[in-house]
Amino acid sequence: MTVTLAIFLFFAALAIVSAVLVVLQKNAMRSVLYLAFTVLAIAGVFFCLQAEYLGAIQILVYGGGIVVLYVFVIVIANLKEAVPERRKLFPKIFIVAMPALLAAEIALAVFKSRPAAAAGPEGGLELGALAEALMTTYLLPFEIASILLLAVLIGAVIIARRRSLHDSR
């Protein structure tokens, strides 16, 4: 066992546990907290996978952006008190079983077939290679992504704005 592997395993375990806790919490605020943990753990995983840039973006965007956004929404919408009922037991077991089954099948499928070996030099994992790929081969998606962000920006504002002064909160 190498050091990388050990760190990886640590972060993986953390991510799994946090994820489970996110799903199981009754309190939305607590879920957000665990989500933060999960995000950070996954960022760590990324670092272990030599995707440093990705990890950094993960922390910045997810941790700094989305989690904070979640907190804000919960506070504004005052959702910590609005805790809906749980569902009945039987459907829940079925509902859990389904994704489990799916996962098992995918695992089966993946592990049965050997993942193909690297098909030749792909450019490496350095930041420079990443930047080059992003700016040349995947330029179009890059630009579209920025347009998408713009659209989302405008759209979200439109959807969430107050229709009139009589709208509460």
Residues 79-98, interacting with other proteins (CB under 8 A): 79, 82-87, 92, 95-96, 98
Cβ atoms of 67 and 39 closer than 8 Å = yes
Distance of closest approach, residue 53 Cβ to other proteins, in angstroms: 6
Tokens at residue 128, please? 């420079």
Q: Which of 29, 44, 35, 43 is nearest to 17 (CA)?
A: 35
- Cα–Cα dist 25/19, whole Å: 10
For position 156 contacting other proteins by CB under 8 A, the verdict is yes
Which residue among 3, 90, 122, 165 contacts other proteins (CB under 8 A)? 122
In the region spanning residues 11 to 50, those forming contacts with other proteins, defined by CB under 8 A, are: 12, 15-16, 19-20, 22-23, 25, 28, 31-32, 35, 38-39, 42, 45-46, 48-50
Which residue among 3, 88, 121, 165 contacts other proteins (CB under 8 A)? 121
Distance of closest approach, residue 113 Cβ to other proteins, in angstroms: 8
- Cα–Cα dist 61/67, whole Å: 9
Q: Which of 44, 51, 56 is nearest to 12 (CA)?
A: 44
